[in-house]
Amino acid sequence: MISMNKVSKNYGSFQVLADCTTEVHKGEVIVVCGPSGSGKSTLIKCVNGLEPFQSGEIVVNGVSVGDPKTNLSKLRSTVGMVFQNFELFPHMSIIDNLAIAQIKVLGRSQDQAREKGSKLLERVGLAVQAEKYPGQLSGGQQQRVAIARALAMDPICMLFDEPTSALDPEMVNEVLDVMTELAQEGMTMMCVTHEMGFAKRVASRVIFMDQGRIVEDDSKDAFFEHPRSERAQQFLAKILHH
Amino acid sequence: MGYNWNWGVFLQPTSTGDDTYLGWMFYGFKVTIALSLSAWLIALALGAVVGVLRTVPNKWLSGFATAYVELFRNIPLLVQLFLWYFVMPELLPERMGDAFKQSNPFMQQFLASMVCLALFTSARVAEQVRSGINSLPPGQKNAGLAMGFTLAQTYRYVMLPMAVRLIVPPLTSEFLNIFKNSAVCSTIGLLELAAQGRQLVDYTAQPYESFIAVTLAYLVINIVVMFGMRWVEEHVRVPGYLGGK
Ligand SMILES: Nc1ncnc2c1ncn2[C@@H]1O[C@H](COP(=O)(O)OP(=O)(O)OP(=O)(O)O)[C@@H](O)[C@H]1O
Ligand SMILES: [Mg+2]
């Protein structure tokens, strides 16, 4: 579904991504982790073309992201993305947040879009908040709305960039629960996260990045039981200690 | 002080006989309002476009917009007015230039003033629009694009609605400025509020009454604009955002 081949990106002389190669198959859940600044966000933003890259190739569902002829907007409408800071549209009610792109991008009618939106809100347990505004919701609620908003586009896969790291600890689980459910339903997902409990529960594979390189790309059992690189061992020791 | 107050002067017929002095003032008031409002509407539209262009990821477009802003913001308003009124008609294609010069003098003065104020103010509006867009959380643009919006749609549905809300207060002061700046247009002979005030002094030798009346008229405009813009601000306030509830 997503394949990356030797993707490299640099800002001037600084290499953010170096020869990143990996493959995400339909229904897989890939957890991407690594120290701060290792290029995780950049990597997943390359998948839907939010970040350009200088060399290599990324193909999503048969479409080459780096090809200048590719209609990126169309591609992005099929790839859901959830951000660290939720990024709901603050001037729209929750239900409008879910409906707007369905209407303007997919051409659905107002009624269809709202109905779909309501169903998804119900699914993330927020049906009663439909008419509120993002600023009136807690962080955890906003992130669940953001997930519902992405799902409203019927995406073929979902990208998550540290979806729980801006949340108060007591709200982390409500978001992880939604993500776990999604994973168990067979959604193809690529998640940047340091929630190792989530990774152990649902990941098919874990990618570990360091200094722009994919250092490990292994099944979760192999990764957690015998990480090969020293950097990954140190990283796990630090993070699992918490 | 041996000044002879005479508020009754406003009700006296003018020396030309066809109106009262109050009528003259009211005429100037209407010209000021018509000029400022029409220039303001053009300035908002142009300023929004130029402000957006300053933020787009295309160096030709943003370079053009930067040049536009610098040009109209840095040449003194009075000089711009003279350029529009005296120089521009000569630079137009001959037919258009002649048509302009043959139209009635009021139209010439009004059009030159309107274009001048509109462009001058649009550069300032553009700066506000740009700063509004730049003060949005950086992730908003990516969030719009990630939903499948084109860049234009992302501006239209995601960035501009919030940016505009953020800049209502500075826009209020630009709106007030355009009324004050319109007084400059009396220098090319446009009979707006300030010019009528001066004319009244020439004809009646009652400067205090005249300038007090002019001041009050500007004050009324200020108050109406401030209340109007405050109403707008309340009206577009986003629940739960920036302390709004
Ligand atoms: N516009 C830019 N110009 C220069 N360097 C940049 C730019 N954007 C990101 N970087 C650098 O690229 C590197 C990778 O950034 P990225 O955000 O992908 O890291 P990350 O792994 O997601 O880190 P974090 O865990 O902090 O989110 C960082 O060292 C960052 O400083
Ligand atoms: Mg990151």
Which residue from A88, A133, A149 is facing B239, i.e. has the nearest CB?
A133
Give the integer Cα–Cα distance in Å for A227 and A172: 26
State whether A165 and A135 are in the same domain.
Answer: yes
State whether A146 and A180 are in the same domain.
Answer: yes
Q: Provide the token pair at B65.
A: 């917009």
Which of A10, A42, A54, A85 gets mutated to test ligand 1 (max ligand atoms within 8 A of its CB)? A42
Give the integer Cα–Cα distance in Å for B206 and A24: 86
What angle is formed at CA B194 by the lines to CA B190 and CA B199, rounded to 5 degrees? 80
Residue B126 lies in a domain: yes
A36 lines ligand 1 (CB under 6 A): yes
How many structural domains compose chain B? 1
Residue B7 lies in a domain: no
Could you list the pLDDT tens digit for every one of the 245 residues in chain B? Answer: 688 888 888 888 887 778 888 999 999 999 999 999 999 999 999 999 999 999 999 999 999 999 999 999 999 999 999 999 999 988 989 888 888 888 899 999 999 999 999 999 999 999 999 999 999 999 999 999 999 999 999 999 999 999 999 999 999 999 999 999 999 999 999 999 999 999 888 888 889 999 999 999 999 999 999 999 999 999 999 988 764 43
Please write the tens of the pLDDT for every residue from A175-191. 999 999 999 999 999 99
Please write the tens of the pLDDT for every residue from A69-116. 999 999 999 999 999 999 999 999 999 999 999 999 999 999 999 999
A11 lines ligand 1 (CB under 6 A): yes
Q: How many residues are there in chain A?
A: 242
Ligand 1 atom closest to the Cα of residue A11 is 4
Range of the domain at A117: 87-194
CATH code, domain carrying A99? 3.40.50.300
The count of C-alpha atoms lying within 13 angstroms of the C-alpha of A220, restricted to the half-sphere facing its C-beta, is 17
User: Is it the case that residue A241 has pLDDT exceeding 70?
Assistant: no
Q: What is the value of pTM for the model shown?
A: 0.90
CATH code, domain carrying B106? 1.10.3720.10
Which residue from B143, B149, B161 is facing A105, i.e. has the nearest CB?
B149
Give the integer Cα–Cα distance in Å for A168 and B172: 38
Distance of CA B219 to the CA centre of its chain: 16
Please write the tens of the pLDDT for every residue from A128-172. 999 999 999 999 999 999 999 999 999 999 999 999 999 999 999
Give the integer Cα–Cα distance in Å for B78 and A146: 52
Q: Does B148 touch chain A (CB under 8 A)?
A: yes
Largest CA distance in chain B: 76
Residue B244 lies in a domain: no
Residue B214 lies in a domain: yes
| DSSP code of residue B56 | S
Residue A153 lies in a domain: yes
Q: State ipTM.
A: 0.93
The whole-number pLDDT of residue A158 equals 96
A188 lines ligand 1 (CB under 6 A): no
Give the 3-state DSSP-derived string for A96-146, with helices as H, strands as E and coil as C. HHHHHHHHHCCCCCHHHHHHHHHHHHHHCCCHHHCCCCHHHCCHHHHHHHH
Residue A220 lies in a domain: yes
Residue A136 lies in a domain: yes
State whether A104 and A190 are in the same domain.
Answer: yes
Give the integer Cα–Cα distance in Å for B68 and B46: 11
Range of the domain at B220: 17-236
Residue A38 lies in a domain: no
The whole-number pLDDT of residue B244 equals 40
How many structural domains compose chain A? 2
Could you tell me the end-to-end alpha-carbon distance of chain A, in angstroms, rounded to an integer? 34
State whether A130 and A222 are in the same domain.
Answer: no
State whether A187 and A217 are in the same domain.
Answer: no
Pairing of strands A14-24, A29-33: unpaired
State whether A190 and A93 are in the same domain.
Answer: yes
Alpha helices (runs of H) in A39-109, residue ranges in sequence order: 40-47, 72-76, 94-104
Contact A14, A169 (CB under 8 A): no
CA of A37 to the centre of ligand 1 (A): 5
Cβ–Cβ contacts within 10 Å for residue A75, how many?
A: 18
Residue A137 lies in a domain: yes
Residue closest to A135 by CA, chosen among B156, B76, B239, B1 = B239
Contact A158, A1 (CB under 8 A): no
pLDDT tier at A206, thresholds 50, 70, 90: very high
Which residue from A81, A89, A136 is facing B158, i.e. has the nearest CB?
A89
